[in-house]
Amino acid sequence: MSTERVSAWEAARERLESAARLVGLDPGLALLVIEPERVLEVSVPFRRDDGRIELLKGWRVHHNTSRGPGKGGIRFHPAVNADEVKALASEMSVKCAVVDIPFGGAKGGVAVDPRPLSAGELERVTRRYAFGVGPLLDPDRDVPAPDVNTDARVMAWLMDTISMIRGRATPGVVTGKPLAIGGSHGHVGATSRGVTICVQATFAELGMPLAGARAVIQGYGKVGAPLVYLLSSLGMRVVAVSDVDGAVHNPAGLDPAALSQHTEQTGSVAGFALAEAIDPQELFSIECELAVPAALGGVIDAATAASLGAKVVVEAANGPTLPEADPVLASRGIVVVPDVLANAGGVTASYFEWAQDRGGYAWEADVVAERLRRTMAQAFDATWRQSQALKVPLREAAMALGVERIAEATQLRGLFP
């Protein structure tokens, strides 16, 4: 087997092409569904606190907007590049179609490590990036959200920048905002809740009990940390977690409250006294019922898939499994709930926030929670039925379902001019 890996966009394109063939799309229509509509690269100059000027690169990609405005997060990470952003935008197109919300796919990012930046420097990077991609951003055209290393504070700066440019309040131009400026109840933690709903549905379909089932989680951040609580509340034992600084393992199950307190004090799961330190590379080989990749993409390759100790994988991260790993997982009978379904709770909650901003009326927290549960359950059921009908794994079924819905919208709108 070749050790050369395809790029993120090549991997995404390969899956889109496979889905288009699976549902029998006309080649011309398939091209419209697969290729990005626009890729914008911008320079992001900013002033350091000591007066020095630095120049960064940023991107915003619209993959497909046939079903509605582009929707997708903005990430700040040193490894961000145009190739990755294109791939993530295409996944957003499919994800929005799978959960059947009226958005297309978009994504953005800046190639920067935000950790050493001061709050002032981070704000200046955010505002300059927002100014650069501002011509694309609008509640009816492109609606960003938080992603890796960005949060509600960053979204507030972005919204304010666009509002200054437009000369009017534009709360609907971004989601994941603080409640005080048009955010929504239930947005924080929505991705984790969506993953949990998929875990429950998958175990139910497979006839596997949740009580006592073991889980490992890669990534103890905005998604992984709440998952420790949520899965434990279902009676599962989260036996191992990892982050960028280390990994810990306790076969009896990790104490969610104690682990949270430890990470608040130290900034990492490493050194947690109520668990044994392990090599992060060993995490996925631990014998368990559930593995949840909740960090960055490309972490499950063919070798990792061959040694995976779980029976079910639910992808909380974007693109955690490389195409080379899919046939290995399938041959071993490991059920994979793909990212375009499993982590769609976040974009679903973003849709709810956008709808509230457009309507000027905030929903109660229980309304948001119930609508999220219903939307995710319906998307899971549709994907599971597609998998059974086409006799393909859930990833192929979800991709086929999403591509089919995008193609329908593209065809109905026609080709201009």
| pLDDT reported for residue 1 | 36
Q: What angle do CA 211, 366, 259 make, to 5 degrees?
A: 45
8 A C-beta contact, residue 139 and residue 172: yes
The topology under which CATH files domain 36-170 is Rossmann fold (3.40.50)
Task: Kindly give the parts of the chain with pLDDT less than 50.
Answer: 1-3
Range list for CATH 3.40.50.10860 in the chain: 36-170
Active site residue 86: no
Where are the extended beta strands (E) located within 96-236? 104-110, 142-146, 214-218
Q: How far apart are CA 49 and CA 192, in angstroms?
A: 36
How far from chain centre, in Å, is Cα 222? 11
Residue 297's pLDDT is 86
Indicate the Cα dihedral angle 336, 202, 145, 240, nearest 10°. Answer: -70
In three-state secondary structure terms, 99 is coil
Q: Which of 107, 177, 222, 311 is an active site residue?
A: 107
pTM of structure: 0.94
C-alpha 107, offset from chain centre: 11
Amino acid 296: pLDDT: 84
Q: Which pLDDT score, from 0 to 100, does residue 111 have? A: 98
Q: Where does CATH 3.40.50.720 sit in the chain?
A: 190-337
H-helix or E-strand spanning residue 74: strand 70-76
Distance (Å, whole) CA 396 – CA 401: 8
How far apart (Å, rounded) are the C-alpha atoms in residues 382 and 1? 35
Structure confidence at residue 5 (pLDDT) = 64
Q: From 346, 252, 342, 340, select the one nearest 292 (Cα to Cα).
A: 342
Cα pseudo-dihedral 384, 390, 395, 401, rounded to 10: -80
Annotation: CATH topology of 190-337: Rossmann fold (3.40.50)
Give 260-312 as a DSSP string: HHHHHHHSSSTT-TTSEEE-GGGGGGS--SEEEE-S-SS-B-HHHHHH---SE
- What is the model's pLDDT at position 4? 55
Strands 104-110 and 53-64 turn out to be: antiparallel
CA distance 352 to 372: 9
**The pLDDT of residue 339:** 96
